[in-house]
């Protein structure tokens, strides 16, 4: 967009007066941010309106990406970059005496997600808008996002994330587009003109209000929409409130209001683990029903036959959380548009596609049938009928195999199995990395794969290179453009041109210096916030991601404890100084994970303050890991730790962000690490540990005994004993869960089994880092190959191969 800095200055001053009646000298930082953000939203408003009009006028197929989580982070900088007015704005603000960085820091992260799954949804929105794909997000406007983490005396303390208190400049509330979502009540069936009809009576009505956020494409005119739904009481109930109030029953009115509003009150803080709370089921139906009702309403304005819905609409569900889209679309087609079952089923299963994110049992959603039936009586009836017909199909195909019904049935043992529902009701089922999809097909979902082989496909995850390279590491982006031109910005695969320069001494030097400058800046922040002296010349070895047993932060820590033991024995051993950086939130009720946080901080406290080891090891636990912090730490990383037990991490996306910023990955052959290795080759990644095959073999056939390793490997024995004997100044009771999991419960995630191989991998890091030119060659090779992991690439494959949308680019 074309804007000069004088216009921006004038607009800013005008808006500051109209919003706050203040001039620049008296306005607090927050007001300046709110004004500037509103101005940027104003700048995109016309294109936002026009985008919608164009879509309608051209009858373009619309994609709706349903996700319970959108982990967006901040929007100011990315909006400026995508609008192409970053430079003008920075200059305008500077002339007004305002520091752009300070304004950016005034924005709260939109933390409406837990980790990778929610961040993927956010990257996809950015890519769809940038590729001019008519793709919109549909989710929940949580009043409280993922909790804020404080570390107090080494423990995680959770603080509510009241991110909306100071206002959200990006959203627009659309009262006129509200819809009603119905819970509880009973279903009355009756005949009308020979057709069986269903009527929902005695239900609790909840009003769903949409809040729309513009999703701005990169230097194009497309502005898509993220629509997040908020729960409120309906008008009728407000009168009811008023009646309660009149009759003096004020507290009852307030109770009712807060019960309804609780639906969109808070994000469940579980990652790769599901809490089976009824409120979560309410959340799921709430946003799915609101989203589908609003899709159908706008489809009807096109005056196209309802039978052709699938030609104009694609609904994609991110994991099983929105799988009620299947029965909800059936309900609307049958009960509100009078289609018969077969017609409705054909449309539904040509409209909905599904992404599977995990194969771990504790993350698979199952709802108790009795709760389900009460809360969603009509939806339950429809699921029963879907299941009845599906079982018929199974029996037809596998006449003599009762186990097939048992394994595939949607309703089983008094539970509704959401993954089964999603697979049966959609036309596409995709995994999120090649290895993950293969495991789904061969093992976890093999029955379904045999029944519906055509549904299964792979779409390896991706990340938006705009946020994770251009925005997070502007100096590196500039250096890349200077070296190979700037085509890579529109076509990220062109980063491969950098390969030619991987041995070029001056490019190597330049990229080394950029990372060093990033490290110096971050080391200063660490000094300020944590009072830890970190040497920017040390290797920055970073593991930032949710805290989970399968991600094995403990393996990383055990190697550190082992290095420390070696240094205590001989302070003169020749190792390159390392700064180990951790960042991780633990689900509040995940006790093992919380013990790991305490252990990391406990070990850090002792090692960081031990004068004997000459500052050769520092450990920093970064508080409150989130998108905006990821943007700061990833450009500083020399080493990217991607060390999950092989087969457990479906894809990972952190791995891609690090690679794109020139970190070298220490990795197991898990998730997308496998594809990163295939791209960069074995010389440019450090692989260790068991393969997925080996892990699954032990899981099926046994033969692993962690206690044997504990007894035979003195390094491990030593590390675990020091954890448990008070050596670090904290009693063993604090780490009992960790100990029990590793020794008493036979180490489900093979930490001890992979320890030796990991220690060797870390020694390899030390060796390679000494060879400066070789190391830089590795960094550059990684950046050069990172283009395929842009979510632009991922999204064009979704568009072409799943949604059947012709990609304009």
**Pick 564 or 625: Cβ nearer ligand PLP:** 625
Stretch 370-409: interaction string toward ligand PLP, x if CB under 6 A: ----------------------------------------
Residues numbered 769-788 forming contacts with ligand PLP, rule: CB under 6 A: none
From 119, 357, 441, 594, the catalytic residue: 357
CB 402 to ligand PLP: min, Å:
40
Phi and psi, residue 657, nearest 5°: -60, -45
**Hey, is 536 helix, strand or coil?**
coil
Which one, 323 or 640, has the nearer CB to ligand PLP? 640
Q: Closest separation between CB of residue 358 and ligand PLP, Å? A: 12
Q: Between residues 626 and 648, which has the closer beta carbon with respect to ligand PLP?
A: 626
For ligand PLP, the closer CB: 272 or 284: 272
Q: Name 687's bridge partners.
A: 667
- Token representation of residue 50: 């026009």
- Binders in 668-727 for ligand PLP, by CB under 6 A: none
Place of tokens 């409280």: 144
Least CB distance to ligand PLP at residue 577 (A): 25
Count the Cβ atoms, other than its own, within 10 Å of residue 270.
18
Least separation in angstroms between residue 633's CB and ligand PLP is 10
Is 236 annotated as catalytic? no
> Phi and psi (nearest 5°) for 44?
-100, -5
- The answer to whether residue 195 is catalytic is no
How far is it, in rounded angstroms, from Cα 107 to Cα 739?
41
With a CB cutoff of 8 Å and minimum separation 6, the contacts of 431 are 355, 356, 437, 438, 439, 440, 456, 458, 459, 650
Token pair recorded at residue 697: 């073999």
Residue carrying structure tokens 């909790």: 147
Cβ nearer to ligand PLP, comparing 135 with 652: 652
Here's the x/- map for ligand PLP, 89-118, by CB under 6 A: it reads as --------------------------xx--
Q: Residue 241 Cβ, how far from ligand PLP at the closest point, in Å?
A: 39
What is the end-to-end Cα distance of the chain in Å, rounded? 20
Does 135 interact with ligand PLP (rule: CB under 6 A)? no
Least separation, in Å, of the C-beta of 642 and ligand PLP? 7
Q: Please give the full DSSP string across 586-614, using - where no structure is assigned.
A: --TT-HHHHHHHHHHHHHHHHHHT-GGGT
CB of 113 to ligand PLP, least distance (A): 8
What are the distances in angstroms from CA 298 to CA 132, 288, 388, 670? 20, 16, 32, 42
Catalytic residue among 9, 41, 436, 545: 545
Check if 657 is active-site.
yes
630 touches ligand PLP (CB under 6 A): yes
User: Smallest distance from the beta carbon of 792 to ligand PLP, in angstroms?
Assistant: 17
Q: Which is nearer to ligand PLP, 640 or 796 (CB)?
A: 640
Query: Is the Cβ of residue 9 or residue 545 nearer to ligand PLP in the bound state?
Result: 545
Nearer to ligand PLP, 121 or 295 (CB): 121
**Segment holding 384, helix H or strand E:** helix 377-397
Tell the smallest beta-carbon distance from residue 146 to ligand PLP (Å): 9
Rounded CA separation 726/737 (Å): 15
Work out the burial of residue 190: count CB atoms within 10 Å of its CB; fewer than 13 is exposed, 13-18 middle, 19 or more buried. exposed
Segment near ligand PLP (CB under 6 A); pick from 94-102, 254-262, 281-289, 623-631: 623-631
Spell out the SS3 assignment of 704-737: CCHHHHHHHCHHHHHHHHHHHCCCCCCCHHHHHH
For residues 667 and 651, give the distance between their C-alpha atoms in angstroms, rounded to a whole number: 12
Stretch that binds ligand PLP, among 387-395, 510-518, 523-531, 647-655 (CB under 6 A): 647-655
Q: How far is CA 23 from CA 35, 381, 448, in A?
A: 12, 61, 64
Residue 627 binding ligand PLP, by CB under 6 A: yes
Stretch that binds ligand PLP, among 337-345, 367-375, 474-482, 649-657 (CB under 6 A): 649-657
Of the residues 108, 227, 551, 618, which is catalytic? 551
How far is the CA of 688 from the CAs of 245, 509, 720, in angstroms?
66, 29, 22
To the query of whether residue 653 is one of the catalytic residues in this protein, the response is: yes
- Contacting range for ligand PLP; rule: CB under 6 A; set: 291-299, 507-515, 572-580, 646-654: 646-654
Position closest to ligand PLP via CB: 654
Partners of residue 353 on adjacent β-strands: 316, 428
Catalytic residue, chosen from 515, 546, 626, 797, is 546
- Residues 160-219, interacting with ligand PLP (CB under 6 A): none
CA distance 496 to 488: 9
- 652, 662, 689, 787: which one contacts ligand PLP (CB under 6 A)? 652
Comparing CB distances to ligand PLP, the nearer of 322 and 654 is 654
Residue in this structure with the two tokens 């959200």, named with its chain if needed? 168
From 199-207, 294-302, 404-412, 650-658, span contacting ligand PLP (CB under 6 A): 650-658
**119 binding ligand PLP? (CB under 6 A):** yes
Position among 545, 578, 616, 753 found at the interface with ligand PLP (CB under 6 A): 545
Do β-strands 223-232 and 313-318 pair in parallel, antiparallel, or remain unpaired?
unpaired
DSSP output for 87-111? HHHHHHHHHTT--HHHHHHHSPPEE
Nearest alpha-carbon partner for 474 in 438, 423, 521, 441: 521
Distance in Å, CB of 580 to ligand PLP, minimum: 16
What single DSSP character describes residue 463? Answer: B
The minimum distance between CB 720 and ligand PLP, in angstroms, equals 26
Residue identified by tokens 């700064």 is 579
- 382 vs 463 by CB, closer to ligand PLP: 463
Catalytic residue among 51, 653, 668, 781: 653
d(CA 174, CA 612): 63
| Interface stretch with ligand PLP, choices 22-30, 289-297, 652-660, 711-719 (CB under 6 A) | 652-660
- State whether residue 432 is helix, strand or coil: coil
Which one from 41, 321, 378, 657 is the annotated catalytic residue? 657
Catalytic site residue 273? no
> Hey, how many other C-beta atoms are within 10 angstroms of the C-beta on 291?
27
653 binds ligand PLP (CB under 6 A): yes
As beta bridge partners, residue 266 has 144
CB 583, CB 621: distance < 8 Å: yes
With CB under 6 A as the contact rule, which of the stretches 194-202, 338-346, 423-431, 624-632 interacts with ligand PLP?
624-632
Q: For ligand PLP, which residue of 41, 404, 616, 626 counts as binding (CB under 6 A)?
A: 626
Nearest CB to ligand PLP, comparing residues 545 and 552: 545
Q: Smaller CB distance to ligand PLP: residue 34 or 544?
A: 544
Angle of helix 76-83 relative to helix 86-95, nearest 10 degrees, comes to 120
Count of residues interacting with ligand PLP (CB under 6 A): 12
Of 69 and 444, the one with the shorter C-beta distance to ligand PLP is 69
Strands 578-583 and 617-622: parallel
For the CB of residue 149, give the shortest distance to ligand PLP in the complex, in Å: 12
Q: Classify the phi-psi angles of 205: left when phi > 0, otherwise alpha if psi is within -120 to 50, otherwise beta.
A: beta
Tokens in use for 588? 């509040």
Q: Of the candidates 269, 322, 654, 787, which one interacts with ligand PLP according to CB under 6 A?
A: 654
CA distance linking residue 114 with residue 551, whole number of Å: 15
Nearest approach in angstroms of CB 653 to ligand PLP is 4
**Whether residue 545 lies in the annotated active site:** yes
Task: State the catalytic residues.
Answer: 357, 545-546, 551, 653, 657
Binding stretches for ligand PLP (CB under 6 A) = 115-116, 119, 545-546, 626-627, 630, 652-654, 657
């Amino acid at each position: 967009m074309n804007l000069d800095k004088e216009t921006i200055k004038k607009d800013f001053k005008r808006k500051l007066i109209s919003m706050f009646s203040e001039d620049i000298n008296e306005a607090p930082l927050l007001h300046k941010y709110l004004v500037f953000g509103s101005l940027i939203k104003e700048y995109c408003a016309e294109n936002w309106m026009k985008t919608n009009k164009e879509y309608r006028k051209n009858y373009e197929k619309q994609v709706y990406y349903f996700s319970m989580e959108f982990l967006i982070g901040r929007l100011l900088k990315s909006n400026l970059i995508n609008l192409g007015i970053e430079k003008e704005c920075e200059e305008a603000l500077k002339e007004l005496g305002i520091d752009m960085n300070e304004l950016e820091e005034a924005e709260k992260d939109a933390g409406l997600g837990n980790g990778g799954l929610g961040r993927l949804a956010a990257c996809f929105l950015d890519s769809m808008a940038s590729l001019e794909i008519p793709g919109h997000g549909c989710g929940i406007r949580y009043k409280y996002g993922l909790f804020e983490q404080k570390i107090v005396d080494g423990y995680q303390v959770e603080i509510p994330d009241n991110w909306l208190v100071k206002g959200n400049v990006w959203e627009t509330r659309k009262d006129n587009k509200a819809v009603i979502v119905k819970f509880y009540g009973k279903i009355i069936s009756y005949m009308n003109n020979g057709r069986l009809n269903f009527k929902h009576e005695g239900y609790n009505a909840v009003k769903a209000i949409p809040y729309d956020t513009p999703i701005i494409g990169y230097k194009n005119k497309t502005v898509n929409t993220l629509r997040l739904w908020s729960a409120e009481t309906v008008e009728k109930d407000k009168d009811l409130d008023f009646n309660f109030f009149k009759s003096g029953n004020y507290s009852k009115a307030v109770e009712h209001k807060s019960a309804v509003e609780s639906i969109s009150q808070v994000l469940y803080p579980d990652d790769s683990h599901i809490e089976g709370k009824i409120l979560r089921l309410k959340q799921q139906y709430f946003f799915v029903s609101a989203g589908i009702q609003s899709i159908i309403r706008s489809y009807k304005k096109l005056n196209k036959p309802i039978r052709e819905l699938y030609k104009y609409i694609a609904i994609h569900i991110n994991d099983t959380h929105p799988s009620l889209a299947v029965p909800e679309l059936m309900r609307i087609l049958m009960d509100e548009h009078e289609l018969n079952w077969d017609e409705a089923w054909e449309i539904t299963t040509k409209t909905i596609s599904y992404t599977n994110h995990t194969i771990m049992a504790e993350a698979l959603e199952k709802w108790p049938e009795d709760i389900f039936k009460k809360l969603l009586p009509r939806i339950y009836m429809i699921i029963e009928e879907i299941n009845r017909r599906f079982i018929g199909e199974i029996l037809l195909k596998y006449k003599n195999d009762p186990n097939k019904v048992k394994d595939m049935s949607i309703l089983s043992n008094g539970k509704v199995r959401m993954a089964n529902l999603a697979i049966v009701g959609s036309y596409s089922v995709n995994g999120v990395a090649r290895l993950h999809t293969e495991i789904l097909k061969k093992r976890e979902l093999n029955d379904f794969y045999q029944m519906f082989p055509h549904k299964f496909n792979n779409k390896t995850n991706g990340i938006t290179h705009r946020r994770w390279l251009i925005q997070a590491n502007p100096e590196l982006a500039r250096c890349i453009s200077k070296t190979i031109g700037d085509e890579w910005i529109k076509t990220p695969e062109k980063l491969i041109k950098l390969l030619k320069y991987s041995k070029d001494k001056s490019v190597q030097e330049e990229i080394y210096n950029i990372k060093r400058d990033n490290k110096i800046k971050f080391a200063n922040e660490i000094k300020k916030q944590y009072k830890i002296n970190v040497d920017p010349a040390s290797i920055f070895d970073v593991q930032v991601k949710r805290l989970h047993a399968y991600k094995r932060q403990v393996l990383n820590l055990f190697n550190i404890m082992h290095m420390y033991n070696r240094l205590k024995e001989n302070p003169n051993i020749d190792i390159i100084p390392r700064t180990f950086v951790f960042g991780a939130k633990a689900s509040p009720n995940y006790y093992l994970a919380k013990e790991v946080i305490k252990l990391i901080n406990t070990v850090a406290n002792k090692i960081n303050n031990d004068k004997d080891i000459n500052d050769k090891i520092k450990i920093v636990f970064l508080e409150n890991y989130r998108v905006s912090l990821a943007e700061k730490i990833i450009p500083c990383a020399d080493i990217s730790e991607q060390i999950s037990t092989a087969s457990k991490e479906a894809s990972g996306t952190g791995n891609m962000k690090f690679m794109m910023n020139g970190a070298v990955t220490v990795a197991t052959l898990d998730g997308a690490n496998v594809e990163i290795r295939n791209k960069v080759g074995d010389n440019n990644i450090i692989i260790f540990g068991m393969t997925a095959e080996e892990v699954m073999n032990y899981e099926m056939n046994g033969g692993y005994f962690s206690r044997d390793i504990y007894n035979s490997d003195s390094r491990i024995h030593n590390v675990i004993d020091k954890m448990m004997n008070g050596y670090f100044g904290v009693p063993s009771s604090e780490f009992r869960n960790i100990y029990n999991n590793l020794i008493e419960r036979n180490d489900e995630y093979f930490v001890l089994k992979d320890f030796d191989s990991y220690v060797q991998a870390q020694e390899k890091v030390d060796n390679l880092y000494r060879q400066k030119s070789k190391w830089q060659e590795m960094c550059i090779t990684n950046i050069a190959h990172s283009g395929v992991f842009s979510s632009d690439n991922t999204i064009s494959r979704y568009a072409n191969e799943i949604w059947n949308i012709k990609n304009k680019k």
